[in-house]
């Protein structure tokens, strides 16, 4: 998922440099959405790992 976020970010930068502002804005929005989903999933996995660690190490 992070790979697609980076791809859309590169598309956004290139489209902005060429002058396609509509395409650039759409690619930027998609990139931010994908990165946000990736980051949220990452935080959930970290939280789940902490819960499992506490459950395993508890006496």
Helix axes of 21-57 and 2-18: crossing angle, nearest 10 degrees:
160
List all residues 6 or more positions away from 8 whose beta carbon is below 8 Å from its beta carbon: 27, 28, 30, 31, 34
Model confidence at 18, pLDDT cuts 50, 70, 90, reads very high
pLDDT of residue 58 exceeding 90: no
Cα gap 44→37, rounded to integer Å: 11
Model confidence at 24, pLDDT cuts 50, 70, 90, reads very high
pLDDT of residue 31 exceeding 80: yes
Give mean pLDDT, residues 20-28. 92
């Amino acid at each position: 998922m992070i790979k697609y976020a980076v791809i859309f970010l590169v598309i956004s930068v290139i489209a902005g440099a060429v002058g396609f502002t509509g395409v650039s804005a759409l690619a930027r929005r998609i990139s931010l959405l994908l990165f946000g989903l990736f980051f949220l999933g990452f935080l959930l996995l970290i939280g789940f790992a902490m819960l499992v660690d506490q459950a395993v190490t508890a006496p």
